[in-house]
Amino acid sequence: MGHSHSTSGTQPNVASKVAIIGAGLSGLALSLALSLQGIESTIYESRDSPLNIGGAVMLSPNALKVLEALGVFSRIERRGYKFEYLDFRDTVGNLTERYEFGNQAKYGYTGLRVFRTVLIEELLHATQSHQHCHKIHLAFSAKFARVISDGHEGVTWELADGTRQTSTLLIGADGIHSTVRRYIYPDLETTFIGQAGITAAVPTEQLKLPADYYIPVTITSPVGAFVIAPQEPDGSRVLIGRQRRMPATDRAGWDEIHAHPERQIEFMRSDGDQFPEIVRNATSTIQPDSINIWPFFIVPKLDSWVSDKGNGRVIILGDAAHAIPPTAGQGINQAFEDVYMLALILGRTKDAYEDASKTTVPLESSLKFWQQYRQSRVDKVLDLNKQIDLRRLSAKDLEGPSSYGGGGPERREFDLDWLYRPDFAVVIDQFMSSVSA
């Protein structure tokens, strides 16, 4: 599967083949976004099919706008559950806060909760559609191992089986434990923060919700929060979830934890007297195979999502570049933003190379702009996470070592316009005209 590549003067032409490592949500979406820009790509995925870690995810207007541009929105819309708020309630049922997750009139989209498998299926379907099939190639059971060199001829890199490839750009969409990232940060390790989200799926009727009880909801209590979020387009099932402390362990330890879902069911039921009846109903019957464990790993804030070695043609995005804690539900949504903006940048840069009458906008400065712009939004999401934690965590947790109290941020009204109303194409246009002015 060797790659050809073309050059334009001394600059590699970014319109030629791009290698994407990882067929997760970021990698699949990126191939579509590049195809729309006329850029051909090949995705290399180490597994024999895209990673599906189960459960449903929440998509907010900023990501839905991207998925609409990729032609996927109308297909997932009818397969997901629409909602507008995440409610916060106390143990006696009082509504303490409403956090907006979407609003048709204000942002053009409601929030959408959709199974990850549905999202993967629809992204994959789109890659094989007539519009994209000549521009997107998928290679499964193809594990990226390392970069060999990054010179004017392109990036040469190796698969685990020793096969070498050369591509114009190498983009790591290979998740939080990214191997591509090692080229940029050889010594960086992810850190397990000692917390995991434990979730299960149960029939909604089991909860015996009072009439007019809005879900999704987070019920806060002195022993932590309990989350209830609808699944299926008709909301007939719900995800239920709690967060728990867990000691760091090795792969065998995680296997052991996964092999005993009954321990997680026991945890879900623990301290039932501290929660309202809805929670006790929710945890009364849990099927062990519906248990999902999400250990929270973090990567430190990275100075660079683009290599500064060689020709600077190795890029990381999505979880590989910034693993965002789950609080505001923005992990996947921010990954879609990375992808879409990068494709716009590469598309505009390609135009500049292809049309000699246009002023050439260097790829380096465009990528730098991309990272700065994206990082500034990720930083604002991290700040939003803190604002949510100030409402969600118990007073005890807020006093802990990772405290936001005592000198931490003040509680503010939620401001979400910046998050849900971005116009990525305008931002890129403005940047392009500022550098070519």
Ligand X SMILES: Cc1cc2nc3c(=O)[nH]c(=O)nc-3n(C[C@H](O)[C@H](O)[C@H](O)COP(=O)(O)OP(=O)(O)OC[C@H]3O[C@@H](n4cnc5c(N)ncnc54)[C@H](O)[C@@H]3O)c2cc1C
Q: In terms of CB distance, is 173 or 384 closer to ligand X?
A: 173
Q: Which of 20, 39, 138, 332 binds ligand X (CB under 6 A)?
A: 332
Is residue 144 a contact residue for ligand X (CB under 6 A)? yes
Q: How far is the CB of 326 from ligand X (least distance, A)?
A: 6
**Among the listed residues 98, 103, 132, the one whose alpha carbon sits nearest the alpha carbon of residue 343:** 132
Tokens 């923005």 appear where?
330
Q: How far is the CB of 332 from ligand X (least distance, A)?
A: 4
Q: Alpha-carbon torsion 290, 331, 414, 67, what sign?
A: negative
Q: How far is the CB of 63 from ligand X (least distance, A)?
A: 9
- Cβ neighbours of 220 (radius 10 Å): 20
Q: Alpha-carbon torsion 209, 212, 213, 217, what sign?
A: positive
Length of the chain: 437
Report the amino acid identity of residue 335. A
Residue 16: which region, alpha, beta or left (left: phi > 0; alpha: psi -120 to 50)?
A: beta
Q: Which stretch binds ligand X (CB under 6 A): 88-96, 323-331, 346-354, 369-377?
A: 323-331
Q: Which residues contact 273 (CB under 8 A, 6 or more apart)?
A: none
Q: How far is the CB of 30 from ligand X (least distance, A)?
A: 9
* Residue facing ligand X at closest CB distance: 24
Residues 256-295, one symbol each (x = binds ligand X by CB under 6 A, - = not), give: ------------------------------------x-x-
Residues 24-63, one symbol each (x = binds ligand X by CB under 6 A, - = not), give: xxxx----------------xxxx--xx-x-x-xx-----
Are the CB atoms for 329 and 167 separated by under 8 Å?
no
String of DSSP letters for 117-167:
HHHHHHHHHHHTSTTTTTTEEEE-S--EEEEEEEETTEEEEEETTS-EEEE
How many whole angstroms separate alpha carbon 165 and alpha carbon 178?
19
Q: Which of 319, 337, 389, 397 binds ligand X (CB under 6 A)?
A: 319
Q: How far is the CB of 176 from ligand X (least distance, A)?
A: 6
Q: Which of 15, 23, 169, 345 binds ligand X (CB under 6 A)?
A: 23
Is residue 22 a contact residue for ligand X (CB under 6 A)? yes
Is residue 325 a contact residue for ligand X (CB under 6 A)? no
How many whole angstroms separate alpha carbon 220 and alpha carbon 241?
12
Is residue 397 a contact residue for ligand X (CB under 6 A)? no
Is residue 102 a contact residue for ligand X (CB under 6 A)? no
Residues that bind ligand X (CB under 6 A): 21-27, 44-47, 50-51, 53, 55, 57-58, 143-144, 173-175, 179, 292, 294, 318-319, 326, 329, 331-332, 335
